[in-house]
Every structure is written in structure tokens, then in C-alpha cells.
Homo-oligomer: A and B are copies of this chain.
Amino acid sequence: MIGVFDSGLGGLTALCELVKLLPGEDFVYFGDTGRVPYGSKSADTVIRYSTEIMRFLSGFGIDAALVACGTASSAALPTLQREFPIPVFGVIDAAAAAAASATVTRRVGVIGTATTVRLGAFERGIKALDPDISVTSVACPLFVHLVEDGFTDPDDPVTLAAAERYLSPLRGIGIDTLILGCTHYPIISAAIAKTLPGVRLISSSKTAAEKLAASLREKPRRGHGTIRCFVSDTPEGFESAGQIFMGDIPLGRAEFVDISKY
């Protein structure tokens, strides 16, 4: 069984990839909908919340965990890897590797939440692989809310105006590859692509899911293809809201958990 968590629903983009890559595997997903978003909160608070969630998920006897949140991966991954005796994956390393291998101009852009950009983990990940790659990181705090509030049409004037504001500094500086450093961003990738034509977009959800799946491929798996979901706000509306992130993979109801007690 694999545990996956996010500040809210964005991590479902990674769960969706994992379900496709590991048919028959069992998953337990936690979305911290009672405290979402993480991206404007401090690293200390995000570490505290992530630790509570990992304690909760560990109770299911999970074999591995995916921190399917750019902010929590940036702030809390080393702590979680130290504190929990199972493989804990984040969304940083695989995206950094994919970007470093994809860029021809040796100039990469990173977009994420305010806390993700401030912590600089994607940038360090790329530089560790190739210090000569130039990395420009831009915080796009509004993007999470545009996704959660349904501004997801590729032609949405609000989303395009926000994308123009945030992303225009990335134009004309030779960037050919952009990491979507927040698991919500794949949902508005069409608007991002319109604003930065010709730039290759790397989904940190997808690359993280691929890395985790590859690490398990050699091992015999026994599961029943179940998905259990938990949230920290009341679960009403989770199923319909979550389906936006899951495409045609059916998502059941979620159960409430009082996560601050963990």
C-alpha cells in the first residue's frame, strides 16, 4: 500500500499517474483540506502538518509514501525521510532530473508557491546535477486558488491575466524548459503553455509518480486496486471536486480525520 498526501486536492494529479502506472496497487490518500493551502505558510508550519499526516498514514502500514505537494516536498522531505522508516518520495528530484536532461539552452524555469520558491529546493536539485544550468524561479501564489476555484478553462481571462503577470519575466531569457513545481499546476498547463509558447513543461506530479513506480517495479506487489481517501475538512464535495484531478479514474468518497490529533 502506498500513502500519498497533499495540502488539498492537487496531489490527486500524482495519485492519478500512480494508479495508471501501478494497476492493482492499494493507495491511501490524505488531503489537508481543513488547512489548505500550504504555499503561503512557513516551512516550520508545513513540517509540523506534514509530520502529523505521515503519522496518520503510517498507521495503515504503507510501504512507501509520496509527498505529492511541491511546498511540503520543499519544506519537509528531509525531516520525513529521517523520522519514518519507509521510502518517502517528494516531487523535487525527479522533476529536477527531467528538466536537466531536457534543456538544450541550459536555462530552466521553475514555478511554484511562495514558500517553494523561497526554499529553492528545485533550483538546488537542478544545480546538483549540472551547476552550469541557469535556473530562474518565480512564485505564482494565485495559481493554486485559480485551480481550486475552477478558473481552469485554457481561455479564461482571469487565469491568462495572472499567467501573463507571473510568467512574462520568464520570456526572452532563453528558457526552453519549465518545471511545474506545484501539483495543482498541471490542471492549468494549457494557459501556462499559451503564455510561454515553445517552452517544454515538466509536471512534477508525473515525474514523481514515475520515479516511485519504477522503484517498486522489481518487487512483487499484492493489492486489490483500492483507493481510500481522507480529508481534514468535512468530506462533502470531495468526490466531485476531486474528480477534476483524476480524469476518468473513479474516486470514492472521502472520510474525515481530525489530523491535528496525530
Residues of A in contact with B (beta carbons under 8 Å apart): 33-36, 40-42, 44-45, 141-142, 145-146, 148-149, 151, 157-158, 161-162, 165, 232-234, 236, 260
Contacts and interface: CB of A to CB of B under 8 A. Distances in A.
Contacts of A35: 34-35
Contacts of A42: 233-234, 236
Given A42-B233, A42-B234, A145-B145, 20 more contacts: A33-B41, A36-B40, A40-B148, A41-B233, A44-B234, A45-B233, A45-B234, A141-B148, A141-B149, A142-B142, A142-B145, A142-B146, A142-B151, A142-B158, A157-B161, A157-B165, A158-B158, A158-B161, A158-B162, A161-B161
A158 to B, nearest CB: 5
B41 A45 contact: no
A13 B45 CA distance: 25
A161 B164 CA distance: 13
A161 B158 CA distance: 5
Nearest to A140: B149
A183 to B, nearest CB: 18
28 contacts: A33-B41, A34-B41, A34-B45, A35-B35, A36-B40, A40-B148, A41-B233, A42-B233, A42-B234, A42-B236, A44-B234, A45-B232, A45-B233, A45-B234, A141-B145, A141-B148, A141-B149, A142-B142, A142-B146, A142-B149, A142-B151, A142-B158, A145-B145, A157-B161, A158-B158, A158-B161, A158-B162, A260-B260
